[in-house]
Homo-oligomer: A and B are copies of this chain.
Amino acid sequence: MRNRTVPTRLRLLDDGAAVEVELKGAPYRFHAIWLRDNAQDAATRSPTNGQRLITLLDIPGDTRIADAHWEGERLIVRFEPEAKVVDYDAAWLLAQAYDKPPPQQPGWTGQEIKRWDAGLSSALPAEDYHAVETDPVARLRWLNALRSYGFVRLTGAPTKPGVALAVAALFGYVRETNYGRDFDVRAAVNPSNLAYTNLGLQAHTDNPYRDPAPGLQILACLQNTVEGGESIVIDGFKAVERLQAQSPSGFQQLAQHCARFEYAGAADVRLRSKRPIIELGPDGELIAVRFNNRSAAAFMDIPFDDMAAYYTAYRRMAELIEDPALAVSFKLAPGEAFIVDNLRVLHARKPLTSQGARWLQGCYADKDGFLSTLAVLEERVGMG
């Protein structure tokens, strides 16, 4: 981010409503009101906790830049009518610059997201529990893989109850639900959820009937002596990319209309949501995928004239997530765990084909704590 050539050139625009400066050889414009609102001085931002001490209404609506000039790598700006002088670091300005081309086509993701297919099988991201627990570099590598791929494995974990909670504590906070803080996944008679059977489960994201849906799911293995029951993971963002390439209109169908999901498998639970299968931000960023055949409710927010096309796209999406070319398969041994970004990566289970003991424990966690921990590690350790 450091700029070897000290910036010098700038010009005021529109009577000081904005300023154009050169940063690393390229021109960027900044509005007076934006600069003033984002001043970092001690009267505007608390030096101790970084929170803004003023509101937008404390800033005059007719704020203008009366003067701006460079002093080394700092831009000195005088605002009127406040007669307030604030300075900005060139690197900070470049990092926050908003005078840039608009977002790409809908479905884009940031550079930190790496979409993957079956090829990931040869290099599944994994770290050792003890290393992650004790070594910040290993922890950073592990969490960075989770952000990039929406999936990461863990080996050498404890094989005792509470293991999923212990894994969550490595980076964040458990999301408690009606299933408890953590839950057991074992075959049961008259199960309240099909997960507690010997059946295979189609690839899915967990709990789309919940709003917000859990951002992360941890599954840890305590015992496994059965045949079958392999785990499969599929990058939902990759499936969306394929769908979009094959059928732009199908992609639009699943993004522009809400699906509905429901879970009412226990007497005291009626969980319902109305959310799209492909969720885009207002700027078209792909931010979530929800897919779950077991809990999909009757869709009733899709106009009659679109329903047939919607179902065609939904079927295409189902075919894509069953495509072996996208799937990564592995079998959990005791002491192994994995985490999925539950708003991106689908997981599946093959049927259990023999008697024996298969005992997993799982829990949910939200992404905010995970991403916060990752950001702190990046600051402290760097991307070594």
Residues of chain A having any CB pair with chain B under 8 Å: 17, 29, 31, 33-34, 37-38, 46, 48-57, 61, 96-99, 102-103, 173-178, 190-194, 202, 209-212, 215, 255-258, 262-276, 279-283, 293-296, 298-304, 307-308, 311, 314-315, 318-319, 322, 366-369, 371-373, 375-376, 379
Contact = CB atoms under 8 A, between A and B. Distances in A.
B304 A281 contact: no
A268 B376 contact: yes
B173 A376 contact: no
A335 B52 CA distance: 32
8 closest residue pairs by CB, A with B: A49-B265, A270-B375, A212-B212, A51-B294, A99-B304, A210-B368, A96-B298, A98-B300
Given A31-B308, A31-B311, A99-B304, A293 B366 contact: no
Contacts of A102: 303
Nearest to A193: B49
Contact of A212 (B174, B209, B368): B368
Given A61-B315, A372-B270, A376-B268, A366 B212 contact: yes
Contacts of A56: 293, 311, 314-315, 318
A82 to B, nearest CB: 16
A31 B303 CA distance: 11
Contacts of A98: 299-304, 307
A177 B369 contact: yes
Contact of A33 (B266, B275, B308, B373): B308
Given A51-B295, A52-B293, 7 more contacts: A31-B308, A48-B190, A48-B192, A51-B263, A211-B368, A271-B371, A272-B372
A37 to B, nearest CB: 8
Given A178-B372, A308-B31, A311-B34, A51 B270 contact: no
A155 to B, nearest CB: 26
A319 B57 contact: yes
Nearest to A271: B372
